[in-house]
Structure formats: C-alpha cells, structure tokens
Amino acid sequence: MTQKFTGVVQNKVVLALFLALVALVYTLPIFRNPTYFGIQDWDQHLFYHGVPANTILQYGQIPLWNPYYVGGTVLLANPQSRLLEPSFLLILAFGPVIGLKIDIWLHAVIGLLGMFLLARHYRLGRAAALVSTFVFNLSSIFALNLTVGMTWFMAVAYLPWAFLFFLRSAQNWRYALAGGACLTLMYFGGGVYPLAITLLFLAVYSLLAGFLRAAPFGRLVRGLAIALLFMFCLGAVKFLPSIEFQRQYPRLVYDYSGYSLTGLATALLSRNQTVDAIANLPIEQRGFWAGVTAGMDENGMYVGLLPLALAVLGLRLSDRRRFALLVTLLIFLWLSFGNRPRAELWSLLHLLPVYNSMRIAQRFRIVALLAAAIFAGFGFQWLRNELSRRWGRGWARALAALPAFILVDLLAVSLPIWADAFPIPPLALPRSDAFYQVWEMPSYNRAGWLTDAPQPDSQDARAAYTQSLHSSLGAMYPAYQANIGVINGYESANVPRQAVPISADNYRGEVYLRDTGGSAAFNTWSPNRWVVDVRAQSPGYLVVNQNFYSGWRAFAPKAREVTSVDGLLAVPVGPTDRQVELVYRPASFGLGLVVSALTVLVVGGYTVYQLRLFVQSSKPQ
C-alpha cells in the first residue's frame, strides 16, 4: 500500500515538473531580456503593479489609493488591481518587470495542471488529457493577451480549476468551497472579465445539464450557490470596495464587436498570429461573413487543423454529459460572434448588470475554447481506441506521438508572439523629490520616446499603425518611477479628471488654501496619508489637488469633514489650525476586511475540525 501511494505521488510530481517545463518553453522568449519593458498595455499594467508594491515596501501602507493617475483614484477597489493575488509576492520580491514575467510562467503552470485534471475528470487517458491540455493552454490566446500587457488574462488559468471543482461539487458539496476559492482568485487577479464569463458559463452549464439529466440539477445549483456565497464572503475585502467604485463610476459601453466567419477561421487556423498580423486583415469591416474588430489579441486563438479535426470527431461521440458541454460550446461561440449575426445573443446579454460594461464579444471564446479542447481529447481517445481495435496496438502506440506533434505546432505559432512582448529597453526619467502632476506623457517604443503623433491620412499610415502595435499606450510607469502623476492616463472607468496639471495657468500647487490667505505645505506625503502644515488667515478650505472620493478622513486634530471643492479633496480650516491629516479609510474596505477575515477563520476552523476527525478515525482501535 505504501509503495503504491509513493508511486502515485511520484507520478504526479513528474507530471507537474513536465508541465512546468512545457510552460517554461512556452514563455521562454519573455525572459530573453529580463528588465525590458513591454508594448501596448504593458505600461499601464506595470504601473498597476508598481504603485501598490511601492506603497507597501516604501511606505508600509495597505495600497488603497493611487495618486499617480487620472488625478487620484482608488487602487485596491479597481477591478484590475492584482495586489491580493498570492503571486503578487513575486512583484514585491523582484519588482514589476521581472516579477510579472515569472508570474506569467507560474500561471501557465497553474492552467496546464488544472486543464489536465479536468480532462482526467472526463475519464480521458493521459495522452488524450495532454491533447486537451495543450490545445487550451498553449493556444495563441494566452500569448496574445499577455504579449499586449493584459495581465488580468492570467486569471483564465483558474477557469479549468473552477469548472472541475464545480463538477465535483455534485458529488461532494465541499468541492464548492474550492471552486469558490478559484473564483475569488480570479477576481483578486484582476480578472473581472474572466470571472463574469466563468459565472455565466457555470450557470448555463447547470441549466443544460439539469435539463438533459446529465447531472442532478439540484446538486449543481447547490454547488454553484455555495461557491458564489463563499466567493463573495472570502473576497469581500475587494468586492465591497469595487462595488462602491463601480456604482459611483459606472462603465456602460456597447461597441460593435464579434467574430465574422472568416475572422473565426483566421483566429483558429492562421499560423501568423503576431500582434501586427491584424494589419493585413479587413479591420473594422462589419458583417457576418468577413471583417475583424479589435486587435489580434482579442481575436487570435490558434489551435491548428489537426486539433480542430479531433474536436469535430469528438463532437459526434457526445453522451448526455458531453452533450450539455457541446451546447454550452455553441452558446458561447455564438456569443463570440457579437453583433455580427442577425440573431445575436450579445445584445441580450448586454441588458444584464455587469455584462453591460463589457466591450469585446470575442472574449467569450475562452469557454468555447475550453470545451473544444475537451472534445479534441475525446476525439483523440476514440481514434486511438479504434486503431487499436481494428489494426492492433502498434498503430495505437504510434498515435501516442500525436500530442507531441500538437505541442510542437502550438509552440511554433506562439513563440513568435511572445517575442514581441518585451522589446523596449528600460526608460528612466529624473526623479522629482516632490510629487507633482502633468497632463499626459508621450508613448514610447524600442527606439525611445515618441513625440510626433503619426498622421492618419499620410501615405505611411499603415506603417504608422503597425508601429503603434509595438509601442506603449502612454508612459504612466516611467512617470510614476519619477514621482510624477499623469492626469490623462488610461483608465477604463469613467473617473472625472479634476486635478490641475503643473503646466496649467490655474495650477496652485498640489496643496493650497482656497477662499483665504496664508500658506499650506506638505509635512508628510504618502499615497494613502498626507499631513499638511497650515497657516490660514481666515476661514477657508485646504485643497489637495486630487479627485474627490468618499472614504477620506480628516483630522485637525479632531475629525473634520472632507468635502469637494471644484471636484477636489477639501477640508474646512481656520486661523487656529496648524496641521491637518488626511487618511484614506473607506468603510467598504473595513467591512470587507472583517467579512473576509471571519470567512477565513470559519473555514479554517472547520478544516482543522475535519482533520482531527480524520486523524482520530485513522488510529487503530
């Protein structure tokens, strides 16, 4: 018995090491120049990681407020923040640039392991499970999204884990807790899109599986309800502040998007999936048959002709449980067509809260790809069994080389994509001793700063567009490193930019007095706390050049109201005041922290209790 257990553990360790090696080969180009910056959204996401890391390491504060862009806004509450993800420790240890590259590899490992276990849950053999694992995790979809800097896409690595635990919760409700933890990790990893898509996926699958009697509907609903409740309670420390933020600044968008038939074929089969391949396609052309919306990162998901053929072969083998998955695949594929078909689902989905803030229909392809990868495993396993039955085991053994062929093919397409991710040598600006804000910063690429905007009507417009695909979208990260805020920095939420840049005629400083004479100057400045020395000649306001937002507390030395003056943070002051302290302490964070902490204590206590029962039952009587 002991030898058998040891053998099982050794096999799992070998598998984990093998998949970790595959992940390393898959992401190897991003480590070629470890300190280099990335293209497109990478500036924004390096910034998203750099500010909270610095807030923790330099100031010893919980990163709740980000003063460095849009005139000041929330940090933890931003849905794209990733500071509660356990892997954020890599950012603290190695810095944003190197830490995020290691993080990409780590999430590739997590995704590979999860998909392999999910495929095994569907009773696929090891070789067939590897086919499913490679098709989903090594598709160009991951390389493309992370090459352009969308770090929230790493949260997709938890999708197969969440689905696996959801399926197992039908037999044992405790798996729903693990599923809820995966959903929480998705949101902690900035994955508001993956989380919303995954929740819709689990709900749709539950309805279909129950209707088709593929699984007990009541147990599926119970498992989903427990997972959702646990997710919200465990993640309340971020969910509650995020809900408050999104209610104050709703993001309602409805852009034309979705696959055309030729666009989908290109996404699945074209071997040129690099970010500038989109320049050779009919961009923004509308219609169901042809046309492409958004960049290659929002479209590409290369799997190749052979895995696609295996998936089609696997579709014909559907029993009840597989048929529920098949219909789910078709629904999410149809959602990915967005506005293009006449009978569209995208507009209906956009009527729902949260989903009405989604911009790109093609992002729903992650579920279709997951299901297609499982069916590719089914197709491979059936083909191998048929060859063995009809022509002997020799043919079946020869087919065992097919997963390796698929692996090599997927790597051959994805590695050139990764090669585009980090081509920019580190840029540095002179560091300012005192924090101040500018309106905007120029973009940059491997050649340096881009000061001249390309003219869209020029003869080299196409070349300029291709160059822009390999440039940053602004320079918030170098500016933050220089202790400079960028008011016109990118933020998807509708945060009003009320702060005044240093170049403006009406700029009065980062802190000043309003409606009174005198002086005001920072005594202490940090992201979440400011101490200001004040000398007011008469009653007036102390104004901080940051956007007004609820959650700020003022003390002078007793508590004092924080109000809005011209959309900026302001505190009433008078001649007797000498010092004012402002601290960002949102009630939503405090309440969320209590709920999350209690959830951890309750689940931890229950786990310890169950372990004690297990140990006691294992003792010889």
Q: Any idea what the CATH number is for the domain that residue 556 is in?
A: 2.60.40
Distance CA 159, CA 143 (A): 17
Structure confidence at residue 549 as a pLDDT band (50, 70, 90): very high
**523, part of any domain:** yes
pLDDT tens string 557-572: 899 999 999 999 999 9
What's residue 4's pLDDT? 55
Indicate whether 460 belongs to any domain. Answer: no
Asked whether the beta carbons of 526 and 59 are under 8 A apart, the reply is: yes
Cβ atoms within 10 Å, residue 230: 20
Does 501 fall in a domain?
A: no
Residue 118 belongs to what domain range?
Answer: 2-31+84-418
310 and 165 part of one domain: yes
Query: What tokens appear for 201 in the block?
Result: 């996926």
Helix H or strand E segment including 545? strand 540-547
pLDDT in tens, 89-133: 999 999 999 999 999 999 999 999 999 999 999 999 999 999 999
* Rounded CA separation 207/32 (Å): 47
Report the alpha-carbon distance of residue 183 to residue 169 in Å, rounded: 14
Residue 96 sits in the same domain as residue 214:
yes
105 and 24 in contact (C-beta within 8 Å)?
yes
Measured between alpha carbons, how far apart are the two ends of the chain, in Å?
Answer: 20
Please check whether residues 580 and 596 belong to one and the same domain.
no
Same structural domain, 103 and 236: yes
Are 46 and 25 members of one domain? no
The count of domains in the chain is 4
* pLDDT, tens only, 183-225: 999 999 998 999 999 999 999 999 999 888 878 889 999 999 9
Residue 480 has pLDDT above 50, yes or no: yes
Is 88 part of any domain?
Answer: yes
pLDDT > 70: what percent of the chain?
Answer: 93
| Cα 385–chain centre separation | 39
Q: What does the pLDDT look like over 354-381, one tens digit per residue? A: 888 888 999 999 999 999 999 999 999 9
For residues 305 and 361, state if they share a domain: yes
Q: Which helix (H) or strand (E) holds 119?
A: helix 96-121
Together in a domain, 98 and 214: yes
In a domain, 458, yes or no: no
48 and 7 in a single domain? The answer is no
Question: Helices 320-336 and 365-391 sit at what angle, rounded to 10 degrees?
Answer: 140
**What does pTM read for this prediction?**
0.93
Whether 431 and 524 map to the same domain: the answer is no
Contact 551, 584 (CB under 8 A): yes
Say whether both 282 and 340 belong to one domain.
yes
The Cα–Cα gap between 350 and 168 comes to 31
State whether 321 and 187 are in the same domain.
Answer: yes
Residue partners of 224: CB distance under 8 A and separation at least 6: 166, 169, 176, 202, 203, 206
Asked, for residue 451, whether it belongs to a domain, the answer is: no
At 28-42, the pLDDT tens digits run 999 999 999 999 999
- Domain membership of residue 241 (yes or no) is yes
* 497: in domain: no
250's CB contacts (< 8 A; 6+ apart) are 357, 494
pLDDT at 321: 66
Q: 113 and 168 share a domain?
A: yes
